[in-house]
Amino acid sequence: MSVYVITGVSKGIGVSLPSALIPTTFANPTTQFEFVKQISEDPKNLVVGLVRDKVATEKKVAAELGDRFNVHILHADLTSYASLKHAGTDTSKIVGERGIDYLIANGAFPSQFDAYEPIGAL
């Protein structure tokens, strides 16, 4: 059994990456959380998904994947250290002694800079 922690599982990379850049396991993405969908198909795998909107993502997982006991959705905001620290503590409680085998850093970090600021402002 492998343990996966994936940031930003509600949308993103599972849809937008060309299949040539995704390992064969993740080819042909069809949903916005394809990593979670395909990895959790094997009940021996444990998936911890980190998202900003936990409630909406849990609803999406329930609607599209049903009740998969091996999927855990946790709140984590990449712009908040306290949020990430709390998610780390919660993840430790879920995975226990097994630890984490894979970290998929899929979450986006929103820029704090305006796209129209001059380069000197950066």
CA-nearest of 110, 91, 98 to 50 is 91
* C-alpha span between 109 and 100 (Å, rounded): 22
Residue 106's nearest CA partner among 12, 4, 1, 30 is 12
Tell me which of 1 and 101 has the higher pLDDT: 101
Residue 47: which CATH number?
Answer: 3.40.50.720
pTM of the model: 0.75
Q: What pLDDT is recorded for position 14?
A: 37
**Other CB atoms within 10 A of residue 106 CB:** 20
Q: For the chain, what is the domain count?
A: 1
What pLDDT score does 18 carry? 40
User: What's the DSSP call for residue 1?
Assistant: -
Beta strands in 11-109 (DSSP E): 46-51, 71-75, 102-104
- Domain residue limits at 29: 3-121
What is the pLDDT, as a whole number, of residue 28?
46
Measured between alpha carbons, how far is 35 from 99 in angstroms, rounded to an integer?
19
Q: What percent of the chain has pLDDT over 70?
A: 71
Residue 118 has a pLDDT of 63
Comparing 30 with 71, the larger pLDDT belongs to 71
User: Is residue 120 predicted with pLDDT exceeding 80?
Assistant: no
Whose CA is closest to 95, among 23, 30, 47? 47
pLDDT tens, position by position, 69-96: 999 999 998 888 999 999 999 999 999 9
